[in-house]
């Protein structure tokens, strides 16, 4: 008889008499909220928001590669990653098929015990998105890494980035990771030469961190013309004020990968605020755009697909701005969001 | 793929989020009912516990065995187990807080007594087919999440004896459960 050391297995043998409980139904609102929160929580678990300058991690194969045994092990590992493909769309949490806009790279580099496969890259306006699969070759909770990016031979400096990562089929050694890097003025029409160098991997298990020095370099060309051809831009003429600052929304640009609202923020910089735009589309779906970046006077709101992709069928979006003060020192974010402007509508049809 | 009553377990195991949504739509009431009862005095924890249950179902669905238990019974157990753990954690935090603040709040004491009694009763119910001694071991292992070394130290029993007791206890639970017809849908 198989023993069970997990309480969830043991629960198969415990009787819960539901008649002992007063039946409490979930309202539709509660159901929607639970579904949304679950997606969010699940994403947070796999998410490694890497804020501005990204960090990464990798594993060590060095020892193994010194021996015949190691070579066999390494060969097996390489085969393992080579056989894995993981959609960049799934990696980014996008439900619709965005593979037609991805540049397939599929290069594998192993160093110091860690194997990395650069699967694909997407070029969008002011953004380079790359998707990797990492085999840490060791059970870990998560990993981090640093990286350098060169475009047409020029190294990017002072760029912002966000990342999303998670384990592949609940593995504790195989992970996907997608990184969206801000690249101002990236060429969207022609091929560009890209070099991505991952370095200084950190493997994290519980509270312990193991550093793995290494270099995982990928050279390839990429092109954003297909996605650009499927992008649309709608002008917006709307503004709202928070304290002494004016937020001017100028343009909604959308394509199958990204949906963003661009604008400017003007006026004396005072208290820092977290701002988002919330509303619904003409189909009744809730829509949220969060403030993704502020650089000088430029600002960018990005559609948050926590609930689902922005529908392909929509013809208009109604949004209202909300804001809450950011804590002056590090600490818990206030939940005290207040409406800071009137509702406005973006029409997508025609 | 359309999620139905026939395939949602399999799809949950395949990590299809739509299957979890099916659980929320069709079985969410069980979680809410169980949580509301066991966390009656702690309404602030209802939502968190409910979300926690869903995440646990998502992560531990592989342990659910439809041949041994109905899904309703299993997730009812998940909700009860989670709710009891929330009460336990609340009591632990309260105890730490009282130690730090020295001032003991009478109201908190009264509530903690009620809650302590309740979780003791409820865990006892869940493990009712076991002897007092075995129940204590199960509670330490599964509810207090202690390891075998700690349990051995707490109880004074050698680890081989503990393994033997656990094995015997599980067998008893399986037999008791199958006698009650617990696997029926």
B153: confidence class by pLDDT, cuts 50, 70, 90: confident
Sequence-separated (6 or more) residues with CB below 8 Å from residue A221: A103, A191, A192, A193, A194
pTM here is 0.52
Q: Both A96 and A47 in a single domain?
A: no
In this structure, what token pair is assigned to residue B124? 């006892």
Q: What is the mean pLDDT of residues A107-125?
A: 91
List, by residue range, all CATH 1.10.10.10 domains of chain B: 129-185
What was the pLDDT predicted at A39? Answer: 75
A83: confidence class by pLDDT, cuts 50, 70, 90: low
Task: Please state whether B110 falls in left (phi above 0), alpha (psi between -120 and 50) or beta.
Answer: alpha
Q: State the Cα–Cα distance between residues A140 and A132, nearest whole angstrom.
A: 17
- Total residue length of chain B: 185
**Considering A30, A57, A77, which residue would you say is the last residue of a domain?**
A77
Task: Please state whether A298 falls in left (phi above 0), alpha (psi between -120 and 50) or beta.
Answer: beta
What was the pLDDT predicted at A26? Answer: 92
Q: At residue A258, does pLDDT exceed 80? A: yes
Distance from CA of B108 to the nearest CA of A (A): 26
DSSP string for A203-263: EEETTEEEEEEEEEEEEEEE--HHHHHT-EEEEEEEEEEETTEEEEEEEEEE-SS-EEEEE
| Mutation site for B-interface testing, chosen from A13, A24, A29, A31 by largest number of B Cβ within 10 Å | A13
Q: Both A204 and A317 in a single domain?
A: no
Q: Both A110 and A244 in a single domain?
A: no
Query: Cα dist. A347→A41, A119, A259, A284, A301 in Å?
Result: 32, 36, 14, 15, 17
pLDDT over 90, % of chain B: 23
Q: At residue A9, does pLDDT exceed 60? A: yes
Is A160 contained in some domain? Answer: yes
Q: At residue B22, does pLDDT exceed 70? A: yes
**Considering A60, A77, A94, which residue would you say is the last residue of a domain?**
A77
For residues B55 and B15, the answer to whether their CB atoms sit within 8 Å is no
For residue A256, count other CB atoms closer than 10 A to its CB: 20
- Total residue length of chain A: 350
Spell out the alpha helix ranges (H) of B39-70: 46-60
Of A3, A7, A39, the CB nearest to B17: A39
Residue whose tokens read 């939502």: B47
List, by residue range, all CATH 1.10.1740.10 domains of chain B: 1-127
Lowest-pLDDT range of A52-61, A115-124, A182-191, B66-75: A52-61
Q: State the Cα–Cα distance between residues A21 and B74, nearest whole angstrom.
A: 15
ipTM over 0.85: no
CB B30 to CB A11 under 8 A?
Answer: no
CATH class of B1-127: mainly alpha
Q: Which residue of B has its CA nearest to A38?
A: B51
Lowest-pLDDT range of A6-20, A311-325, B36-50: A6-20
pLDDT tens per residue across span A30-48: 888 888 878 766 655 443 3
Q: What is the mean pLDDT of residues A146-164?
A: 84
Show contacts of B16-19: CB within 8 Å, 24+ apart.
B17/A38, B17/A39, B17/A42
Residue whose tokens read 């009656």: B40
What was the pLDDT predicted at B138? Answer: 85
CB B69 to CB A1 under 8 A?
Answer: no
Q: Both A93 and A223 in a single domain?
A: yes
CB B28 to CB A169 under 8 A?
Answer: no
Query: Which strands make up the sheet holding A114-124, listed edge to edge?
Result: A103-111, A114-124, A127-135, A174-182, A161-167
CB B69 to CB A12 under 8 A?
Answer: yes
CB A26 to CB B29 under 8 A?
Answer: yes
Q: Range of A61's domain?
A: 7-77
For residue B119, give the DSSP letter.
H
pLDDT tens per residue across span B91-142: 877 766 555 554 445 555 677 777 777 777 777 777 777 888 888 888 888 8
Is A2 contained in some domain? Answer: no
Is A277 contained in some domain? Answer: yes
Is A276 contained in some domain? Answer: yes
Is A343 contained in some domain? Answer: yes
Residue whose tokens read 């207040």: A338
> How many Cα atoms occupy the beta-carbon half-sphere of B13 within 13 Å?
8
In this structure, what token pair is assigned to residue B93? 């935090």
For residues A307 and A285, the answer to whether their CB atoms sit within 8 Å is yes
Q: State the Cα–Cα distance between residues A300 and A288, nearest whole angstrom.
A: 13
A339: confidence class by pLDDT, cuts 50, 70, 90: very high
What was the pLDDT predicted at A349? Answer: 66
Number of domains in chain A: 3
Mean of per-residue pLDDT scores for chain B: 81
CATH code for the domain in which residue A256 is found? 2.60.40.1640
Interface of chain A against chain B, CB under 8 Å? 1, 3-16, 18, 20-26, 30-31, 34-35, 37-39, 41-42, 169-170
CB A23 to CB B50 under 8 A?
Answer: no
Architecture of domain B129-185: Orthogonal Bundle (1.10)
Q: State the Cα–Cα distance between residues A247 and A23, nearest whole angstrom.
A: 48
Query: Cα dist. B125→A12, A23, A124, A329 in Å?
Result: 15, 20, 59, 48
Q: At residue A292, does pLDDT exceed 80? A: yes
Q: What is the mean pLDDT of residues B19-24?
A: 94
Q: What is the mean pLDDT of residues A81-87?
A: 71
Q: Both A60 and A107 in a single domain?
A: no
Q: Both A242 and A202 in a single domain?
A: no
For residues A118 and A106, the answer to whether their CB atoms sit within 8 Å is yes
What was the pLDDT predicted at A162? Answer: 78
Q: At residue A69, does pLDDT exceed 50? A: no
What was the pLDDT predicted at A248? Answer: 96
Residue whose tokens read 């209202």: A320
């Amino acid at each position: 008889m198989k023993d069970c050391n997990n309480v969830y297995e043991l629960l198969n043998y415990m009787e819960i008499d539901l008649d002992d409980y007063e039946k409490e139904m979930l309202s539709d609102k509660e159901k929607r909220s639970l579904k949304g929160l679950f997606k969010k929580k699940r994403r947070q678990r796999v998410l490694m928001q890497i804020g501005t300058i990204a960090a990464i991690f990798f594993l060590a194969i060095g020892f193994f590669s010194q021996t015949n045994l190691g070579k066999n092990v390494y060969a097996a590992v390489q085969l393992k990653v080579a056989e894995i493909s993981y959609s960049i769309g799934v990696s980014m949490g996008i439900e619709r098929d965005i593979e037609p806009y991805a540049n397939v790279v599929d290069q594998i580099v192993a160093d110091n015990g860690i194997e990395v496969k650069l699967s694909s890259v997407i070029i969008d306006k002011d953004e380079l998105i790359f998707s990797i699969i990492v085999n840490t070759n060791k059970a870990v909770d998560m990993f981090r890494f640093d990286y350098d990016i060169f475009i047409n031979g020029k190294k990017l400096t002072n760029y912002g980035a966000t990342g999303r990562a998670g384990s592949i089929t609940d593995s504790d050694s195989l992970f996907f990771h997608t990184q969206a890097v801000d690249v101002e003025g990236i060429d969207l029409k022609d091929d560009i030469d890209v070099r991505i160098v991952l370095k200084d991997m950190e493997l994290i298990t519980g509270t312990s961190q193991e550093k793995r020095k290494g270099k995982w370099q990928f050279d390839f060309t990429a092109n954003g013309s297909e996605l650009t051809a499927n992008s649309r831009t709608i002008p917006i003429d709307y503004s709202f004020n928070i304290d002494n600052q004016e937020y001017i929304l100028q343009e909604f640009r959308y394509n199958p990968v990204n949906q963003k609202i661009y604008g400017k923020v003007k006026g004396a910089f005072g208290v820092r605020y977290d701002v988002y735009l919330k509303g619904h589309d003409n189909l009744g779906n809730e829509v949220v755009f969060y403030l993704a970046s502020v650089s000088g006077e430029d600002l960018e709101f990005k559609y948050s697909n926590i609930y689902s992709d922005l529908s392909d069928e929509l013809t208009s979006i109604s949004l209202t701005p909300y804001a809450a003060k950011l804590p002056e020192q590090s600490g818990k974010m206030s939940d005290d969001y207040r409406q800071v402007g009137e509702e406005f509508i973006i029409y997508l049809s025609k | 793929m359309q999620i139905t009553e026939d395939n949602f377990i399999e799809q949950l195991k395949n990590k299809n989020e739509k299957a979890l949504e099916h659980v929320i739509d069709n079985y969410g009431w069980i979680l809410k009912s169980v949580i509301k009862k066991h966390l009656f005095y702690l309404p602030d924890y209802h939502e968190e516990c409910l979300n926690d249950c869903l995440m646990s179902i998502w992560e531990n669905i592989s342990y659910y065995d439809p041949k041994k238990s109905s899904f309703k019974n299993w997730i009812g157990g998940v909700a009860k187990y989670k709710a009891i753990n929330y009460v336990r954690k609340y009591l632990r935090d309260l105890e730490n807080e009282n130690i730090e603040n020295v001032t003991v709040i009478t109201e908190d004491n009264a509530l903690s007594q009620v809650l302590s009694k309740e979780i003791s009763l409820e865990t006892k119910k869940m493990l009712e087919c076991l002897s007092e001694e075995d129940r204590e071991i199960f509670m330490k292992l599964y509810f207090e999440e202690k390891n075998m070394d700690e349990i051995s130290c707490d109880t004074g029993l050698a680890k081989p004896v503990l393994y033997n007791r656990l094995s015997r206890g599980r067998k008893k639970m399986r037999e008791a459960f199958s006698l009650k017809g617990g696997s029926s849908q």
